Amino acid sequence: MIDKKDIVIQRSIRYTEPDEKGIFAQGAKYWVKVTDDIEEPGRGCVHCSTCVESCTHNIKEPGAGHGVFTMEERYYDDGGHRVSPDSSDEINLIEKILWINPDECCNCKRCVKMCPQRAIKVYDNPDYHDIGVNLTGHEQINNIISRAGGKSTISSAHLGRGQSKMYTDWLIDAAEILSPTRDHMNEYAGQMRNMTLGKRAARFQVDTPIFDVHQSYGSNSHEAILARMMACVKLGRPFFTGEGFVHPDMMAAASHCILQFGSGGFGPWVELDKFAGISMKYGQDAKKGKGGRLQDKKNDYEIALLRCVEALRHLSSPNPQHLQYSIEELPMRVESLRALLGDDKLIGADVYGTAWNFAEICVAIAKAGFDYITIKAGDGSTGAAHLVDLQNRGLNIIYLTHMADMALRKEGLREHISLISEGGVMDSFHAMLAMLAGADFVGMGMRTLHVLGCTLCRRCHTGQCAWGITSRPYGHRIDPATASDNIARMVRSFHDDMEGMAAGLGMSNHADVVGARRFRYHGGDPLLFATFGQGDHPKQVPHVSIKEREKKIFKSRTATYEENKEVFERVLSGIEGDSLKVDVGFDKIESMHINHIMKEAVDRGVKKFFLDNVMGQRTLGTGIRCEEITVRGLVGNHSFAFVRDVKINVIPNHSTITTVPANAQVGVANTSNPEEINIAGEVSDLFAAYSVSGTFRVAKSGGVRNLLLMKAGLPDEWKNIDVERFQNASDDEILKELIKKYQHRRAKRVKTNWQDFLKQFEVKLSGRRAPVAVYGLGHEKGMGDYFMEYAQGGIGIILNIVNRMNPIGYYVCSGMTAGAAYIRGRVTDGQLGKGVRKIEYLTPDDKLFLTGHINSFISQFKDIDIDKSYNESLKEFAKNFKSNPEQILADFCKIIPISSLSAKSNE
């Protein structure tokens, strides 16, 4: 044992040596200075290691377990020789060395804020910044050197390339003598309370015009998400989830949450009627509408539980929303969502401001039936994006808001839809400008993160955020209860400012402010000056009449029932026990009417439906809670979307002069969790896209992008979720439940390290079953291109019962990160998509798996009269498989992600 009485302790501060020499020795962008007690008596470093614990940043060696700071102890005997602390040598001197590696510093300032001595200073390193001339300064030169050195071109948050145009050059008009200023604290003036998001049947009661923004679970830590969610509940505003869905522990607040459906379609997609609505993500400000990518190391077991994907795999979101390729298809998507959610839930659209036809897009979205539009402007931030995207972003939020507002007014649609403006809103003045330009509400994302500790160090994408905002292992550094109070105070302060400004302009309420344009621009931007610097108020906002929207898509279930009561009741009179047969009569009952009839029937106890003489009606089964649906005829677009635990059969209709095939059109069974869906015909594009679980069988072929982004199965955690008791709960009851769940989580978290903590979620994933889709193929055509594109855990099987020479198109399994495809027949390497490989042999487990699904497929379709040539081919295939299964199985190849082999070995 060391006798500390006789030991001398010597302290020192040292810097690590640079790794590079020459032009590639860029050095540290920020210099870290730690003072000792000689330089600053009483305030110098005491080697307490607080900075070592606080700093998490190490891009060069992310697995090193330390950041900028490390603490080393050296032991010496009386001869000055280094010895081991557990040796028998007598120790006379302990040297404590604080090592500093400023090359890894990102200026997050956590070490500065946490140091008990205030001994740390971080400032710009002149050796890094003092390079180049005005035209080509240090930023450009060091960027080139970094690229030449192979460093990452991914960044996050803001680049800080210059101030937004919203900082300066604006003037709000003063009140005139005939509309004098009023005291908003003591008179009813400038009050912005009791507003609603949405202007139709679907409305969310709002108490503040300042919203949070979409940020996903995973991009934010658990604690950061919870703090923001609790703040939204306290402020009386909706919480926007981002693409990462909602954690099961947070489902008590579902009635306050608007789910974001991004191009990745992540999530279990259950209990959707418990949420406030769905927001469709058509673009993101800082990425110019590009899709995102979550690296495998950030896709841990808990993230996989929420997103229903395989853990430890890269996750990709495509650039476009493949379920709708054009403006004409938007109403169809809204129709399917309205069928799913009912009339009282919000449906919103996120639109980015870099498109040349931005105004036309806003008008199209309003006409399509969305309840609100979120405008994403160019000053918005991100958790990860390429530098080139961050350097070339969209337009200013004021200008974009003006464009959208004016376009909607011109079409007479402004009173039908709410506008939310986001992107670079720094404070209450900017929020007021956006509302005067035409926004109903404004979103502040980065301002909220500042309250949690964000200093814009731009390390979000690395998972090393020292404040625990974008780094899940350090999330416990945030206390959600305290942080949510701080966020609420900030927003209320901004809200008070805005009400004061509104009162100063002689305005009484929220409606007076929106679109009033009582401000002027006097800066150097000619576009903004022409828009706001010239002309008077009446010319800026022309008077237009409000156009009524009479399309059937806008009619509620109640209104539809009253208008068609006689027809509906005649159909419903056919209920026998728990079953109902509906004779659609080909064109006698239209899409939404069938959906409303089925919902009414479910309310009356029906569990099984037979829909006869169907001819392309849409949204069949969408939003219907039942056990079984049989359709005879042609299934229309977006049918069976979001279904759960239901058995569905589609069979051909031979009762007419011309047979109606049992085919399915575009987007059928998207985002679904069925027990099984059997289509005794062929399917078109995007069949079972985003499907989470279940078995899908298609007798014939499929179109383009079948099984797009297929997930990995529904965990039991989501099957057993119960949020019914919180649907009518008070805000205090919801907050109490959120805190209770978090305390239970934190009690587990503090007892173990992060990786061991995650193991509990690995167990929760073990019992789920991945979705399986089996195609027989027909004589008419083979399988379309992009089969299983971006798949994330499901299984696709192509039996090729008609023995086509080329059974499938191109880009097979492109971007697949988990799962597998089994294809019988010739598949060349040139047909494969990016990131996958072909295996020419099957394992015994593969053969056992395929045998089971082949037998089930034959059993399902062998007794159905599909058409003569197909019937004969299936009969022949069944005969051959029964007599010699090995010969059939030998014709299969297996396609898997290239990364899956290495990923398995790393687990």
CB 336 within 8 A of CB 795: no
Task: Specify whether 288 is located in the same domain as 212.
Answer: yes
Say what percent of the chain tops pLDDT 90: 68
Could you tell me the CATH number of the domain that includes residue 225? Answer: 3.20.20.70
Task: Specify whether 139 is located in the same domain as 183.
Answer: no
Mean pLDDT is highest, among 359-373, 491-505, 693-707, for 693-707
Task: Specify whether 65 is located in the same domain as 213.
Answer: no
Is 355 within the bounds of a domain?
A: yes
AA identity, residue 734: I
CB 795 within 8 A of CB 323: no
Strand ranges, E, within 816-888: 818-824, 836-839
Task: Specify whether 653 is located in the same domain as 686.
Answer: yes
Task: Specify whether 497 is located in the same domain as 578.
Answer: no
Task: Specify whether 379 is located in the same domain as 341.
Answer: yes
- Domain range for 844: 559-715+768-906
Number of domains in the chain: 3
DSSP secondary structure code for residue 175 in this structure = P
In 679-793, alpha helices (H): 716-719, 731-749, 754-765
Task: Specify whether 416 is located in the same domain as 484.
Answer: yes
What's the mean pLDDT in 78-85? 84
Could you tell me the CATH number of the domain that includes residue 87? Answer: 3.30.70
Sequential DSSP letters for 97-131: EEEE-GGG-----HHHHH-TT--EEEEE-HHHHS-
What's the mean pLDDT in 680-708? 98
pLDDT of 70 higher than 90: yes
Task: Specify whether 366 is located in the same domain as 503.
Answer: yes
Question: Which residues on adjacent β-strands are paired with residue 392?
Answer: none
Mean pLDDT of the chain: 90
Task: Specify whether 230 is located in the same domain as 372.
Answer: yes
In sign, the C-alpha dihedral spanning 64, 65, 71, 73 is: negative
pLDDT of 4 higher than 70: no
Is 753 within the bounds of a domain?
A: no
What is the number of helices (H) and of strands (E) in the chain?
A: 26, 33
Write the pLDDT tens digit of every residue in 538-554. Answer: 555 666 666 665 566 67
For residue 794, the Cα-to-chain-centroid distance in whole angstroms is: 20
Question: Which residues on adjacent β-strands are paired with residue 576?
Answer: 579
Is 677 within the bounds of a domain?
A: yes
Write the pLDDT tens digit of every residue in 717-726. Answer: 999 998 888 9
Neighbours of 826 (CB within 10 A): 14
What's the mean pLDDT in 229-236? 98
Is 157 within the bounds of a domain?
A: no
Q: How far apart are CA 351 and CA 75, in angstroms?
A: 62
Residue where a domain terminates, one of 474, 508, 540: 540
Q: Which helix (H) or strand (E) holds 784?
A: none
For residue 188, the model assigns a pLDDT of: 75
Write the pLDDT tens digit of every residue in 560-578. Answer: 999 999 999 999 999 999 9
Q: How far apart are CA 262 and CA 283, in angstroms?
A: 9
Could you tell me the CATH number of the domain that includes residue 879? Answer: 2.160.20
Is residue 134 packed enough to be buried (19+ CB in 10 Å), middle (13-18) or exposed (0-12)? exposed
Q: What is the pTM of this model?
A: 0.93
DSSP secondary structure code for residue 529 in this structure = I
Which residue would you say has higher pLDDT here, 223 or 152?
Answer: 223
Task: Specify whether 495 is located in the same domain as 526.
Answer: yes
Is 736 within the bounds of a domain?
A: no
Write the pLDDT tens digit of every residue in 100-153. Answer: 999 999 999 999 999 999 999 999 999 888 888 777 888 778 888 887 888 888
Task: Specify whether 613 is located in the same domain as 515.
Answer: no
Is 758 within the bounds of a domain?
A: no
pLDDT of 628 higher than 60: yes
Task: Specify whether 202 is located in the same domain as 102.
Answer: no
Is 579 within the bounds of a domain?
A: yes
Distances (CA, A) of 59 to 21, 126, 218, 461, 708: 19, 22, 19, 11, 34
Is 720 within the bounds of a domain?
A: no
